[in-house]
Homo-oligomer: A and B are copies of this chain.
Amino acid sequence: MKPPLRDADFREKMRARLLAVAKRLIVDEGLAAVQARRVASEAGCSVGTVYNVYGDIDGLVLAANATTLHDLGSALETVRKHVQGQDVEERLMALAVTYLDFAISSQRRWRAVFEHRLPDGYPTPESYIADRRALLALIEAELAQVLPDADQRIDAARALFSATHGNVLLALDGKLGDIAPDQCERQIRFLVHHVVSGLSR
């Protein structure tokens, strides 16, 4: 049974309002601040409404993190246009440096994507899986020229994304000592350069 229009309107308004609150809490304080009571209080609704609209707090966190994936995707798409026509190494490095910059400038939002752990058995929503695929597809597209096999490209894109993420994460966390962004970039270039020149042979 479809709810009357007013209910659907209310639901959409609450959905947007709760999402805005969750995003702000992540930006200001980090993922740990996104708790149902806190969100409800800041959105001026009951905890029941949070659950009613998003199913549970993980549903709300996933929605907030999806906006981060979209913003990251937009940043990567923008830089791709700027480096069209350059060689594969420069194009992959442009994506990697954009990722590093995004992690620095949107650090709490970026961390929230990777810190969030779904409860056991909680299925990742199809839309979230599609958002993640879209990001990896950007890397795969740049590899097409040097890696014609589509399955190998999927593996390679995951390997390169994970490698870049690991270098960015450990640099920002200072886990291997003080690593400045330009040194982090140098480390990533070391990997990208050899992978591309290896694939191009």
Q: Which residues of A contact B (CB under 8 A)?
A: 113-114, 117, 124, 129, 132, 136, 155-156, 158-167, 169-171, 173-177, 179, 183, 186-188, 190-191, 193-195, 197-199
* Oligomer: number of copies: 2
A171 to B160, CA, bound (A): 13
A156 to B183, CA, bound (A): 11
Q: Is the interface of A mostly helix, strand, loop or mixed?
A: helix
A174 to B120, CA, bound (A): 12
Q: Are A158 and B179 in contact (CB under 8 A)?
A: yes
Q: Are A194 and B199 in contact (CB under 8 A)?
A: yes
Q: Are A191 and B163 in contact (CB under 8 A)?
A: yes
Task: For A132, list chain B residues within 8 Å (CB).
Answer: 176-177
A65 to B104, CA, bound (A): 26
A159's contact among B159, B187, B198, by CB below 8 Å, is which? B187
Given contacts A166-B166, A166-B169, A195-B195, contact A187 B155 (CB under 8 A): yes
